[in-house]
Amino acid sequence: MIELSIHLMTYNNEEFIEETLQSIFKQNTDFSYEIVVGDDCSTDNTLSIINKYSKKHPNLFAIEKNPNQLGILKNFKATLDRCNGKYIFDIAGDDIIKTEDALQKIMNVFRANPTLGFVDSGYDKFLVSSNKCISFINKNTITIDNEKYRDSIFLGKVIPVGVCYNKEALYKYVDFDFFIQKNITIEDYPILVSLVSNCEFGRVDESLHEYRLHLESYTQTPSFERAHFLRNQMLELFNFFKTKYNFSEKLNRIFLENHNKSLLFLSGVYQNKSVGRETYKSIKNKSLRDFIHYLASQYPLVRSIIKLRKKLLFKAL
């Protein structure tokens, strides 16, 4: 019987996928697992590399390339539907499992309490462009009390790297069809909020994984339009869950303030004058940083100075 399904979503990960797979094969476990791959129409050699490993381990892999590109949420659900394990460890095709006992440590938490909705764990953030690694970047959210952890999820501050899900809870509490019909493309936020609002959860206070951040990754937004779209989807989701789960007014104020400050920052990065003006007006507690982002959205010279300063600081490191 398969106890764990490694839920591996891929898209143009040829630069990283081999290390991802090797980190999986290095795991020392006392349970059986499978690797279920959902490739979202990669145009590079990602699948060729995966198939090379599959030939060596034919009984371990279940590989499918989507006939059409689905996007993250639909691909998550399509891949989930092919998983046979009781628990689902989700990993992207450009991330790695750092330690050889990571999956065992996560599964030990589930074995102590099989009804948990999910188990979260620590990770490092690796910035590919600068070759810089930030160790245990989510330590604060892994170690805070349960109430504050839930609020962090509600505010969209928890990135699910190294999260393992209870499959039964996913199907019971996450209304995938509803979010897909609403054309929601974000998968992590609705999943985590739905689970944390209905289930208990566990955490491993240790950095077990490495989250790679690069321009080609699913999560990156190379245009203002794309970034703006995703943040508005987050606002739509927050408002939906705010009503469904009766979020506090304080939580609502914090989310809206963070949302507006994030939009203002993007307006400065991409020099979007109209959104910058309207967003700056809507921020109640303005800071000096907000003012600088506003100026950057209005005046190209300010943005150029900011870019130059960042380059000089980077060289000085």
Alpha helices in 57-145 (DSSP H): 72-80, 102-112, 139-143
pLDDT in tens, the chain (317 residues): 899 999 999 999 999 999 999 999 999 999 999 999 999 999 999 999 999 999 999 999 999 999 999 999 999 999 999 999 999 999 999 999 999 999 999 999 999 999 999 999 999 999 988 889 999 999 999 999 999 999 999 999 999 998 999 999 999 999 999 999 999 999 999 999 999 999 999 999 999 999 998 765 555 556 889 999 999 999 999 999 999 999 999 999 999 999 999 999 999 889 899 999 999 999 999 999 999 889 999 998 877 776 654 444 344 43
Q: What is the pLDDT of residue 251?
A: 98
- Cα–Cα distance, 89 to 8 (Å, whole number): 8
Write down all domains in the chain, each with its CATH number in brackets. Answer: 4-213 (3.90.550.10), 224-316 (no CATH)
pLDDT for the residue numbered 307: 62
pLDDT of residue 215: 63
H-type alpha helices, the chain: 17-25, 46-56, 72-80, 102-112, 139-143, 146-154, 167-173, 176-181, 188-196, 224-245, 249-270, 273-282, 288-298, 300-316
Which pLDDT score, from 0 to 100, does residue 129 have? 83
The predicted structure's pLDDT at residue 303: 75
Closest CA to 97 of 13, 203, 206: 206
Pairing of strands 4-10, 118-127: unpaired
CB 88, CB 35: distance < 8 Å? no
Q: Distance between CA atoms of 224 and 228, rounded to whole angstroms? A: 6
* Eight-state DSSP code of residue 225: H
Find where tokens 């034919």 sit.
58
Q: Are 155 and 254 in contact (CB under 8 A)?
A: yes
C-alpha angle 118-94-34 in degrees, rounded to nearest 5: 55
Query: In one letter, which amino acid is 268?
Result: G
Rounded Cα gap, residues 103 and 111, in angstroms: 12
pTM: 0.92
pLDDT at 13: 96
What integer pLDDT is reported at residue 43 of this predicted model? 97
